[in-house]
C-alpha cells in the first residue's frame, strides 16, 4: 500500500545509509537513490542529509510520524483482509513514564491487549520527555505532563499522580526523631530517580532551603527499586501514593510529611488520525487511569 | 589533593567546553587552557580533542577512571580526617543489570550501605554492556557476563542466574493446550526486554527453528514489568527463577518448558586499587549473590 518511494525513504532513515537500505530492500543502490530523488523532487523538499550516517532533514523528520501511522493502518487493513491473525500481530508503540508503567498502565491496557491480540512496544522515558517520542514518530501515543497537544495530535487528561514523601518507620526513628528539619534532611540519604530529579530537589529547596549538593542521595533508576530501597530503610523519597497504598496501610512504609505532597497531572497524547485498534487502546488508557488517578 | 591541572581536565570533559569549565571552576578560560596544555606537555599526550563539544582523546579516556578512583580516595580521606560525616556522604557508583537489580542486588548491599553511610549511584544497563561503564570510569564496579577482567581490574564470579520460560496457567491453556510447538509459538505473544533480546530469540531459533519476525512480542523494558505482563496472562518470557520463586510455588505463574532453561553466569568487576569502603561493598556483593545464585 505504501508507495515504493516512501518505503525507500523509511529504509534509508532506519539503516542510516543508502547501501544498507538497498541491501535490506534487495534493490540496487542506484534504484534507492533514484526513488529518493523522485520523492524529494515531487515534494519539493530535501528529505535526507547525505551525511555518515544519513539523517533525515527537518522536513524528513516531519514526514516520519505519518509514515508510522500509515504502516499501522496498512497492518490493520491486512489483518482485516486476512480475517484471522497469523503471526503478523499488530504492534502498537507507546511512550510511558516509569511510575505509570509500574502502577496503572498494564491493568488499564490488559483487556484491549487480550481481546485484540495486539502486542505493545513500550518505551520508558521521563514524563517530560515522552513527548519527543511522539513527535519523532517513534510512538503512536504517550503519557506526558504536557497539556497542549502538538499539531495533528490530541491530548486527553488522565488525572493526577500524587507523590508522597515516603520512608520506613525505622528510617524515621533513625533520621527524623524530631521530624523533618533542615539539618536532619542534610544528612538523611534521599532516593532520586536520576541525577536530575526535580521533585525531590524542589521539595528540599522550597520547604527547607536545601540546595542540591547539600543532601546525600542514592540514584535508583527504577520505580520498583525506589520502593525496595525505602522498604529496606536505606533512604526516603517521593513515591506515587498509588504505588505504596498497601505498605502505607499495613505500616511497612510511612508518609514522612503528611501535610505536604507533590501533584503531577498526566495527559495522554495521540495522533488525531488513528486506526480503530489504537482508538480502543486510547479509550482503555483514559478509562483505566481515570479509575485510579483523581481528576 | 587532586592537582589543579587534573581538576581542569575533568571539568572540561564534564562540561564539554573550555568556557563552561572555566565558569564552573570560577577561573578564566585562558587559565583553564594553560593548565590543560601543561598537563598534556608533562604527560607527552594530547588529552582533549578541541571539537564541539570538546571530547577526551583515547589517552584522555584512559586517564578518566584513575581520576574517579582518586576522587573516591580523597573523599574517604576527608571523611577520616573530619571524623564524623556531615552531608558529604561518600558516593559509590555501580553498574548493575536490571534483573540483578530487581532481585539480589539491594538485599546484598543493604548492610554495608546502612553501616557505612554511603550512598549508591546505580546505573542500570544490559549485563553485556555494563563493562563499558567500568572502562570509562563512570562506575567503580559492575555486574557483567564478561569473565576476563580488563587491565587494572579484578573479576569475581558471582554465580549463575537461571532463566525459565514463564507464563500463567490461563496463558498456557489458551496458547499451548498441547504444549510448545513451532506453530503455537509463532502465534503466542512473547515478552522481550528490548528489541534485541538474545535469549528469547536464541531459544525459539535453536529449539523450534523460529526466526525473529516469525513470532509476536511485547517490548517491556522493565524486570518487574515482565512479571506483571506474564501474571496478567498477556505474554510469556524468560524470567529469572529467583524473581518468581513465590509465584512458581503458589501457581500464579508456571514453567512452560520445565526441561529447558537458560543459564547466565555473572561476574563482579572492580578496579584493583580501591578504597576500604568499596572493598567492603564488593565483599557484600559477592557474599549476597553467593547466597542466592548457584555457583
Nearest CB to A110: which of B214, B215, B232?
Answer: B232
Say whether pLDDT at A79 is over 90.
no
Give CATH for domain B62-81+90-160+264-292: 3.40.190.10
Q: Quote the CA–CA distance of B18 and B23 in Å, as a whole number.
A: 9
The chain B residue lying nearest A84, using CA atoms, is B187
Q: What is the ipTM of this complex?
A: 0.74
With a pLDDT cut of 70, the percent of chain B lying above it is 93
What does the pLDDT read at residue B19? Answer: 92
Q: Quote the CA–CA distance of A7 and A174 in Å, as a whole number.
A: 62
B189·A219 Cβ contact <8 A? no
Mutate to test the interface with B, among A82, A88, A89, A190 (most CBs of B within 10 A): A89
Q: May I ask the CATH class of domain A62-82+89-159+264-292?
A: alpha beta
> What's the pLDDT tens digit per position in B80-98?
555 433 446 788 999 999 9
Residues of B in contact with A189 (CB under 8 A): 89, 117, 119
Q: Quote the CA–CA distance of B60 and B58 in Å, as a whole number.
A: 5
Q: Quote the CA–CA distance of A100 and B286 in Å, as a whole number.
A: 34
Say whether pLDDT at A63 is over 90.
no
What does residue A271 show for φ and ψ, rounded to 5 degrees? Answer: -70, 145
What does the pLDDT read at residue A196? Answer: 66
What does the pLDDT read at residue B83? Answer: 41
How confident is residue B180, by pLDDT bands cut at 50, 70 and 90?
very high
Mean pLDDT, residues A104-131 taken together: 91
Say whether pLDDT at A255 is over 90.
yes
Average pLDDT score, chain B = 88
Selecting from 3.40.640.10, 1.10.10.10, 2.60.40.10, 3.40.50.2000, what CATH number does the domain B4-57 have?
1.10.10.10
What the block records as the C-alpha cell of B245 is 520463586
Average pLDDT score, chain A = 88
Between strands B55-56 and A262-271, the pairing is: unpaired
Say whether pLDDT at B275 is over 70.
yes
Give the list of residues 6+ apart from residue B282 with CB closer than 8 angstroms, or none.
B141, B156, B268, B270, B274
What does residue A165 show for φ and ψ, rounded to 5 degrees? Answer: -85, 105
Mean pLDDT, residues B11-24 taken together: 91
Say whether pLDDT at A61 is over 80.
yes
What does the pLDDT read at residue B159? Answer: 97
Q: What is the architecture, at CATH level 2, of domain B162-262?
A: 3-Layer(aba) Sandwich (3.40)
**Domain(s) of CATH 3.40.190.290: residues in chain A:** 62-82+89-159+264-292
Mean pLDDT, residues A229-243 taken together: 95
Using the structure block, give the residue that is written with the C-alpha cell 501457581. Answer: B251
Say whether pLDDT at A70 is over 80.
no
A215·B87 Cβ contact <8 A? yes
Nearest CB to A85: which of B187, B222, B229?
Answer: B187
How confident is residue B77, by pLDDT bands cut at 50, 70 and 90?
low
What does the pLDDT read at residue A127? Answer: 83
Say whether pLDDT at B78 is over 70.
no
Say whether pLDDT at B190 is over 90.
yes
Chain A: residues touching B (Cβ < 8 Å): 85-89, 91, 98, 101-102, 106-107, 110, 113-114, 117, 119-124, 186-187, 189, 214-225, 228-229, 232-235
> What's the pLDDT tens digit per position in A4-31?
888 899 899 988 999 999 988 888 999 9
> What's the pLDDT tens digit per position in A221-235?
999 999 999 999 999
Highest mean pLDDT among A65-69, A74-78, A291-295, B58-62: A291-295
A224·B102 Cβ contact <8 A? yes
With a pLDDT cut of 90, the percent of chain A lying above it is 61
What does the pLDDT read at residue B79? Answer: 62
The total number of residues written for chain B in this structure? 295
> What's the pLDDT tens digit per position in B123-177?
998 888 888 888 887 888 999 999 999 888 899 999 999 999 999 999 999 999 9
> What's the pLDDT tens digit per position in B239-263?
999 999 999 999 999 999 999 999 9
Convert chain B into a string of H (helix), E (strand) and C (coil): CCCHHHHHHHHHHHHCCHHHHHHHHCCCHHHHHHHHHHHHHHHCCCCEECCCCCEECHHHHHHHHHHHHHHHHHHHHHHHHHCCCCCCCCEEEEEECHHHHCCCHHHHHHHHHHHHCCEEEEEECCCCCHHHHHHCCCCCEEEECCCCCCCCEEEEEEEEEEEEEEECHHHHHHHCCCCCCHHHHCCCCEEECCCCCHHHHHHHHHHHCCCCCCCCEEECCCHHHHHHHHHCCCCEEEEEHHHHHHHHHHCCCEECCCCCCEEEEEEEEEECCCCHHHHHHHHHHHHHHHHHCCC
Does residue A45 or residue A279 have the better pLDDT? Answer: A279
What does the pLDDT read at residue A46? Answer: 85
Say whether pLDDT at A269 is over 90.
yes
What does the pLDDT read at residue B84? Answer: 37
A124·B222 Cβ contact <8 A? yes
The minimum CA-CA distance between A37 and chain B, rounded to whole Å, is 30
**Domain(s) of CATH 3.40.190.10: residues in chain B:** 62-81+90-160+264-292, 162-262
What does the pLDDT read at residue A106? Answer: 95
Highest mean pLDDT among A42-51, A60-69, B92-101: B92-101
What does the pLDDT read at residue A52? Answer: 85
What does the pLDDT read at residue B263? Answer: 94
Say whether pLDDT at A54 is over 50.
yes
Say whether pLDDT at A87 is over 50.
no
Nearest CB to A228: which of B106, B232, B234?
Answer: B106
What does the pLDDT read at residue A204? Answer: 94
**Domain(s) of CATH 1.10.10.10: residues in chain B:** 4-57
> What's the pLDDT tens digit per position in A183-218?
999 999 999 998 666 899 999 999 999 987 789 999
What does the pLDDT read at residue A45? Answer: 78
Q: Quote the CA–CA distance of B164 and B153 in Å, as a whole number.
A: 32
Using the structure block, give the residue that is written with the C-alpha cell 532506519. Answer: A14
What does the pLDDT read at residue A80? Answer: 56
Mutate to test the interface with B, among A115, A181, A192, A225 (most CBs of B within 10 A): A225
Q: Which of A27-31, A82-86, A112-116, B106-110 has the lowest mean pLDDT?
A: A82-86
Mean pLDDT, residues B264-279 taken together: 88
Amino acid at each position: 500500500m505504501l508507495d515504493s518511494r516512501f518505503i525507500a525513504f523509511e529504509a534509508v532513515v532506519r539503516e542510516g545509509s543508502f547501501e544498507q537500505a538497498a541491501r535490506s530492500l534487495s534493490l540496487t543502490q542506484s534504484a534507492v537513490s533514484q526513488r529518493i530523488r523522485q520523492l524529494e523532487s515531487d515534494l519539493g523538499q530535501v528529505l535526507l542529509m547525505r551525511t555518515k550516517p544519513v539523517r533525515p532533514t527537518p522536513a524528513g523528520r516531519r514526514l516520519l510520524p505519518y509514515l508510522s501511522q500509515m504502516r499501522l493502518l496498512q497492518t490493520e487493513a491486512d489483518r482485516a483482509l486476512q480475517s484471522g491473525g497469523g503471526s503478523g500481530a499488530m504492534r502498537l508503540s507507546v511512550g510511558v513514564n516509569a511510575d505509570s508503567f509500574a502502577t496503572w498502565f498494564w491493568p488499564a491496557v490488559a483487556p484491549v491487549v487480550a481481546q485484540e491480540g495486539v502486542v505493545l512496544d513500550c518505551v520508558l522515558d521521563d514524563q517530560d520527555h515522552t513527548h519527543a517520542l511522539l513527535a519523532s514518530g517513534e510512538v503512536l501515543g504517550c503519557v506526558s505532563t504536557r497539556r497542549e497537544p502538538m499539531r495533528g495530535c490530541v491530548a486527553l487528561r488522565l488525572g493526577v499522580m500524587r507523590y508522597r514523601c515516603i520512608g520506613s518507620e525505622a528510617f524515621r526513628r533513625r533520621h527524623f526523631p524530631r521530624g523533618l528539619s533542615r539539618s536532619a534532611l542534610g544528612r538523611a540519604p534521599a532516593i532520586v530517580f536520576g541525577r536530575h530529579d526535580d521533585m525531590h530537589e524542589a521539595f528540599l529547596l522550597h520547604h527547607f532551603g536545601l540546595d542540591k549538593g547539600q543532601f546525600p542521595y542514592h540514584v535508583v533508576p527504577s520505580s520498583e527499586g525506589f520502593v525496595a530501597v525505602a522498604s529496606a530503610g536505606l533512604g526516603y523519597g517521593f513515591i506515587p501514593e498509588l504505588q505504596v497504598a498497601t505498605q502505607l496501610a499495613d505500616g511497612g512504609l510511612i508518609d514522612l510529611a503528611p501535610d505536604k505532597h507533590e501533584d503531577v497531572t498526566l495527559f495522554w497524547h495521540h495522533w488525531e488520525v488513528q486506526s480503530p485498534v489504537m482508538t480502543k487502546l486510547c479509550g482503555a488508557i483514559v478509562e483505566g487511569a481515570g479509575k485510579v488517578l483523581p481528576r
